[in-house]
Amino acid sequence: MKAMIVERPVPLNRRVRVSDDSDPPLEPGRKKRKTPKVKTGCYSCRKRRVKCDEKRPNCHRCNRCGIVCEGYPAGVRFAKELAPISRPLAPNPQSPLPPYSRTISPISPISPLTISSRFEDEQQGLFFRKYMETATHIRGPIATSLWERLIPQSCEAEPYIRHAAVAVGAMSKTLAGMRLERDELHSAILSQNPDYVYALSQYDKALSGMRHAMGEGRANMRNAIFACLLVFCFENMNGRPALAAANAISGLVLFYDFLRKTKDKRAPGWIKREFEKRHIEDDLQSTLIALDLHVIFIMNPKVDAFNEIYIAGSDSAISKMPAEFPSLKIARHFWMVIMGRNHHFLQGVVKAGWALASVKPEAHDEGGPCEEGTDVSPGIHLFSMLEQPPMHMFDDMLRYREHIRRWSRASASLFNRISKSGTQVDKTAVLLLQINESLAHAMLAGAFCSTQSAYDEFLPEYQQIIDGVELVYPHLVEAYNGEPLYRFDLGIIMALFFVGSRCRDRKIRDRAAHFLNRNKDYREGMWDTGSVGAIVNFIIEVEEEKRDQYGEIAEEDKVSVAKGHLDIPNRTGLIKLSSKKKQGIAYIERAISW
């Protein structure tokens, strides 16, 4: 059937700003606990919004964390003269975020580190500082407390989390060095890189320490999540998305199993209350949803079993969505809940469609899992086209699209204010939200398309996505002067893949390929522009050969990705495309490189 678009999302050609970056509660009626402002201490601690011990000439906290102490403002008092602060520190919502620029500020000269008991040696301290710099890239344009405050604080108390953070920092430095040796990027060369060797040693210590802590019963839920997130980032930066997904699935199964065993799970807000019992902050909740979004593209029975729990908890949270968002962070938090629920629903749609066609997922060549341990092209499964869409789920799809429209209406006033007086960082963040809003409409409605030609209905969404990427790309990717970047949240790559693989408008699709091929070192979660760009190039080449004199591509000549095996470190892969011919399914297989 042909999906109809009833209402279009808001155009993406506007720029926007945040009015308040305070940490939001999921339930808007709750009052935020007041916390004292930190007006003393060294410049470094004030920037990080942590308590400074104000020792002279350099504070001990900076020395322990491997950070250069930038000194004190004139007239500041010593720590012993100050009254102690008993309440925990909270991020300062008034702290301005630095605007993106077209170049990365170079690392400032590092004074000799005073090695404390927290670090094994000076090298560990230096790479921890590299992690702190990398954390701003990982989190993306919307500031959160997770990567730059909560995880570093846990590093002070838990060695295995500190080892994992140091490993991420060392891997980030490795990636930056590899860009200079692009033609010689092979596993053998990489194994000789001292930064990479050190990253692996710290990573091994992190895994060993985590297993030891779990064996002793010291690994609480919060620390386990921190470790799971850092391991996921490390494996993806290391070019091993299959291992990253396996570790993420293990962590999510542990977390979902905990939720399944809790009581009163049918009551509204039960997941929120369980989060609060385990001190799972709102920023950590949003990041857990993002982790779930990454692994749901690789269907796994361990995670499939929790679809009902996830959807029920998400619907409860969405029911509390305010009529107007007071801040960008709250808007983003509710969007993550909506997007997570949508993707769990889409997974159910694909499974139900297979059941109607009497096809087992393991035997279905356009969505079944590949061999264990193989690097898989992310996103294959939720982009599968069903021969028999499960129409009994069609009304749910319409209801979920209405939730997106509610979110759009609640964002409108905030986005208009940002468009008039916002920083470039805020505009970038909102453009990313709008890009994924257009993608969500097309994916939900597209799940009920039974032909490739039905996807032509989403031309306005394709156009909005590409226009948004064009606006955001200089500030999201190019601003860092070609340095290999890793971001945790989904941003533009999945949207560009959707346009490149589903849109048959030549100009729009060529623009999608252009952005994917422009920088092949940019990564988001389990996605990277190099491999995705190579897949889209393959699709375009196959289909363009079949375009007729009127510029049309016949239904039987339109292809979709069936399977993909990728070797990220060596930049090679094997991709299989499928097309529906009159005589049956036809396949085209090719080795790709980038």
pLDDT higher for 339 or 113? Answer: 339
Q: Which two tokens stand for residue 492?
A: 């533009």
DSSP 66-87: T-------TTPPPGGGSPPP-S
- Nearest Cα neighbor of 328 from 292, 291, 286 is 286
Identify the weakest region by mean pLDDT among 100-104, 147-151, 330-334, 336-340. Answer: 100-104
With the C-alpha atoms ordered 366, 347, 243, 496, is the resulting torsion angle positive or negative?
positive
DSSP 195-218: HHHHHHHHHHHHHHHHHHHHHHT-
Q: What is the mean pLDDT of residues 506-514?
A: 97
Q: Which two tokens stand for residue 567?
A: 């070797």
With the C-alpha atoms ordered 524, 528, 533, 535, is the resulting torsion angle positive or negative?
negative
Phi, psi of 562 (to 5 degrees): -95, -50
* 175: pLDDT strictly greater than 60: yes
Residue 344, pLDDT score: 86
Q: What is the mean pLDDT of residues 547-551?
A: 92
Q: What is the mean pLDDT of residues 392-416?
A: 96
Inter-axis angle of helices 459-476 and 493-502, nearest 10: 140
Task: Please give the mean pLDDT across all residues of the chain.
Answer: 77
Residue 12, pLDDT score: 42
What's the CA gap between 156 and 365, in Å, rounded? 48
* 156: pLDDT strictly greater than 60: yes
End-to-end CA distance of the chain: 37
Per-residue pLDDT tens over the stretch 297-312: 665 566 666 777 778 7
pLDDT band at 19 (very low <50, low <70, confident <90, very high): very low
pLDDT higher for 306 or 194? Answer: 194
Residue 252, pLDDT score: 84
Task: Answer whether 389's CB lies under 8 Å from 449's CB.
Answer: yes
Residue 66, pLDDT score: 59
Task: Answer whether 270's CB lies under 8 Å from 264's CB.
Answer: yes
Task: Answer whether 142's CB lies under 8 Å from 331's CB.
Answer: no
What's the CA gap between 103 and 95, in Å, rounded? 22
What's the CA gap between 200 and 193, in Å, rounded? 11
* 373: pLDDT strictly greater than 70: no
The pTM of the full predicted model, rounded to 2 decimals, is 0.75
Residue 320, pLDDT score: 87
pLDDT higher for 105 or 512? Answer: 512
Identify the weakest region by mean pLDDT among 267-271, 351-355, 382-386, 437-441. Answer: 267-271
Task: Return the ∠ at Cα 89 (arms to 65 and 26), rounded to 5°.
Answer: 115
* 537: pLDDT strictly greater than 90: yes
What's the CA gap between 334 and 321, in Å, rounded? 7
Task: Answer whether 448's CB lies under 8 Å from 504's CB.
Answer: no
Phi, psi of 543 (to 5 degrees): -75, -35
What's the CA gap between 219 and 432, in Å, rounded? 35
Helices of type H across 319-458: 328-356, 394-421, 424-446
pLDDT band at 198 (very low <50, low <70, confident <90, very high): very high
